């Protein structure tokens, strides 16, 4: 099974 990744775990807020 796979889980949907989240953009915020790859790109940081600036």
Partner 1 sequence: MLELRLVQGGLLKKVLDSLKDLVNDANFDCSATGFSLQAMDSSHVALVALLLRSEGFEHYRCDRNLSLGMNLSNMAKMLKCAGNDDIVTIKADDAADSVTFMFESPNQDKIADFDMKLMDIDSEHLGIPEAEFQAIVRMPSAEFARICKDLSTIGDTVVISVTKEGVKFSTRGDIGTANIVCRHNTSVDKPEEATIIEMEETVSLTFALRYMNSFTKATPLANQVTISLSSDLPVVVEYKVAEMGHIRFYLAPKIEE
- Contact positions vs partner 1 (CB under 8 A): 1-14
Question: CA 10, 1, 8 angle in degrees (round to 5)?
Answer: 15
CA distance readout (Å), 7 to 10, 13 = 5, 11
Q: How far apart are CA 4 and CA 14, in angstroms?
A: 23
User: What's the min distance (Å) between Cβ of 9 and partner 1?
Assistant: 7
């Amino acid at each position: 099974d796979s889980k949907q990744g989240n953009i915020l775990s790859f790109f940081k807020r600036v």
